[in-house]
Amino acid sequence: MKRILFAMAILTLACTFMQAQKSYDFLLTGGRVVDPANHIDAVMDVAVANHRIAAVAAHIDPSLATKTVDVSGLYVTPGLVDIHVHVYASTGEAGSYAGDNAVFPDGFTFRAGVTTVADAGCSGWKNFEDFKTHIIDRSKTRVLAFLNIVGAGMRGPAYEQNVAEMDSQAAATMAKKYPGLIVGIKTAHYAGPEWVAVDRAVEAGTLANIPVMVDFGTFRPERPYQQLVLNKMRPGDISTHMYLDWVPILDAQQNVLRYLFEARKRGVIFDVGHGGGSFLFRQVVPAVRQGWVPDSISTDLHIGSMNNGMKDMLNVMSKFLNMGIPLTEVIRDATSNPAREIKHPELGTLSVGSDADIAVLRVENGHFGFVDSYGARMDGRMKLLCEMTVRDGLVVWDLNGLTRDDWTKLGHYHAQGSPVWDGTITPDVMKR
């Protein structure tokens, strides 16, 4: 064991020495950089040093980098930001989004180019710190959170329909204890006729100066959706599941209802939140054709959507790409827009000095099928795939081994990679 530790220490020192002779840890060359936050859409190189974006330029000398990867023909974007997921998977509670209905993030994010997620209300002020200890602090994915107005979080009707669990002051106090980590308040699934869930969520959001995300739950005539987005929600608050079949979007002639544009004009944000039951082509396609497009694209990732019509972030983005929304706008809605909505404008960008979170994407052309939440299919000709994901300056996903050397050229090789740029190295591999 001592020999293994000594060998690893020597490797680290050697890598550090080599890095001291270089300006950059990692360099991506020849890719089409799409960085909507900085209005960049051009073939450029991107350099990483000390876990941050060090340079974005038309040409960067490869000799200045420890590792250089040619990504010609691919798209280089900021790491994707998914602001509606359910990842509080550690409790073991059956039938609960603070339990078995949620998923561990790292197995679903990097392979889809996602580097940041916001859990959408799985935990409340009573159990947020358990969520932080068991998921947020242990994940390679950057995990942020919308705090449920229900103290026990998203644990089913016994909790979510209990008005006594909706404590605005307690929620705000917890949010202020973890500023930047708790990015908003969430209300979801409430079935009663009163506005109490929304009102208390908004009160908590006001006290903590953070946005509220609303999953409207059961739609009732006593509290119409139009009133929610025209009167109850504040500018900057987020209405998720915007294409849910219950949301009144289209009139009898399939025209988008004008109140929606009024709500957006007053500052309400509309988020996709695809999920297992909240995305229908019969709503989405006519709405998109008339300009009712999302402010942010999100997955509503959980066990009921991961293998269903939703699949992953890139699948959802591809649907909009095939509906005619330009690629630059689709990327904006999955990077800088959601980052701004959760008050983290330093994310979802390739600005020099920002955290080096990067997605390298391929646009495949062919014949593809996409499925909505009710199982209806839409044909498409384009599909986004993730070739590589960089999180915090380290390669954490490399689909086709773009960072790797061909084995036939390595002779009697040992473990490859360097801790300077490779986030997939594990101690058990280094032993061999």
Instruction: Identify the three-state secondary structure at position 286.
Output: helix
Distances (CA, A) of 3 to 16, 427, 432: 20, 13, 12
Residues 64 and 87 in one domain: no
Q: Tell me if 18 sits within 8 A of 59, measured CB to CB.
A: no
What is the structure's pLDDT at 20?
Answer: 52
Q: Name the residue with tokens 């005619």.
A: 324
Q: Tell me if 237 sits within 8 A of 212, measured CB to CB.
A: yes
- Tell me the C-alpha distance between 132 and 188, whole Å: 21
Question: For 331-383, how does the pLDDT look when each residue is reduced to its tens digit (9 = 90+)?
Answer: 999 999 999 999 999 999 999 999 999 999 999 999 999 999 999 999 999 99
What proportion of the chain, given as a percentage, has pLDDT over 90? 92
Residue 170 backbone dihedrals phi, psi, to 5 degrees: -65, -40
Residues 244 and 325 in one domain: yes
Rg of the chain over CA atoms, in angstroms? Answer: 22
Q: Which of 298, 314, 349 is the last residue of a domain?
A: 349
Q: What is the amino acid identity at position 121? A: G
- Tell me the C-alpha distance between 181 and 145, whole Å: 6
206: left (phi over 0), alpha (psi -120 to 50) or beta: alpha
Question: For 252-293, how does the pLDDT look when each residue is reduced to its tens digit (9 = 90+)?
Answer: 999 999 999 999 999 999 999 999 999 999 999 999 999 999
What is the structure's pLDDT at 7?
Answer: 46
- Asked whether residue 4 carries a pLDDT value surpassing 70, the answer given is no
Give me the chain's average pLDDT, please.
94
- Tell me the C-alpha distance between 425 and 429, whole Å: 7
pLDDT band at 425 (very low <50, low <70, confident <90, very high): confident
Q: Which of 349, 380, 396 is the last residue of a domain?
A: 349
Residues 84 and 154 in one domain: yes
Of the candidates 197, 234, 202, 235, the residue with the CA atom closest to the CA atom of residue 216: 197
Count of other CB atoms within 10 angstroms of residue 427: 9
Which DSSP letter does residue 315 get?
Answer: H
- Asked whether residue 134 carries a pLDDT value surpassing 60, the answer given is yes
Question: For 394-416, how does the pLDDT look when each residue is reduced to its tens digit (9 = 90+)?
Answer: 999 999 999 999 999 999 998 89
Question: For 30-39, how does the pLDDT look when each residue is reduced to its tens digit (9 = 90+)?
Answer: 999 999 999 9
Distances (CA, A) of 247 to 51, 139, 257: 43, 34, 11
Residues 321 and 337 in one domain: yes
Question: For 204-242, how does the pLDDT look when each residue is reduced to its tens digit (9 = 90+)?
Answer: 999 999 999 999 989 999 999 999 999 999 999 999 999
- Asked whether residue 8 carries a pLDDT value surpassing 50, the answer given is no
- Tell me the C-alpha distance between 131 and 96, whole Å: 14
- Tell me the C-alpha distance between 172 and 189, whole Å: 20
Residues 220 and 270 in one domain: yes
Q: Across the chain, how many H-helices and E-strands are there?
A: 12, 15
Confirm whether 354 is domain-assigned: no
Task: Report the number of distinct structural domains present in the chain.
Answer: 2
Q: Which of 328, 349, 370 is the last residue of a domain?
A: 349
pLDDT band at 305 (very low <50, low <70, confident <90, very high): very high
Domain of 288, CATH number, reads: 3.20.20.140
Confirm whether 278 is domain-assigned: yes
With a CB cutoff of 8 Å and minimum separation 6, the contacts of 163 are: 192, 194, 196, 197
Confirm whether 357 is domain-assigned: no
Domain of 8, CATH number, reads: 2.30.40.10
pLDDT band at 51 (very low <50, low <70, confident <90, very high): very high
- Asked whether residue 6 carries a pLDDT value surpassing 80, the answer given is no
Domain of residue 64, residue span = 2-77+362-430
What is the structure's pLDDT at 429?
Answer: 57
- Asked whether residue 19 carries a pLDDT value surpassing 80, the answer given is no
- Tell me the C-alpha distance between 71 and 57, whole Å: 15
Residues 120 and 166 in one domain: yes
- Tell me the C-alpha distance between 383 and 363, whole Å: 6
Confirm whether 113 is domain-assigned: yes
Residues 70 and 129 in one domain: no
What is the structure's pLDDT at 217?
Answer: 85
Residues 267 and 410 in one domain: no
Whole-model pTM?
0.94
pLDDT band at 1 (very low <50, low <70, confident <90, very high): very low
- Asked whether residue 14 carries a pLDDT value surpassing 80, the answer given is no
Confirm whether 173 is domain-assigned: yes
Question: For 89-109, how does the pLDDT look when each residue is reduced to its tens digit (9 = 90+)?
Answer: 999 999 999 999 999 999 999
Q: Is the dihedral of CA 92, 217, 236, 255 positive or negative?
A: positive
Pairing of strands 75-78, 358-371: antiparallel
Q: Is the dihedral of CA 266, 143, 333, 271 positive or negative?
A: negative
Residues 330 and 404 in one domain: no
Residues 182 and 298 in one domain: yes
Residues 369 and 402 in one domain: yes
Q: Is the dihedral of CA 319, 114, 155, 175 positive or negative?
A: negative
Residues 155 and 253 in one domain: yes
Of the candidates 251, 301, 258, 275, the residue with the CA atom closest to the CA atom of residue 88: 301
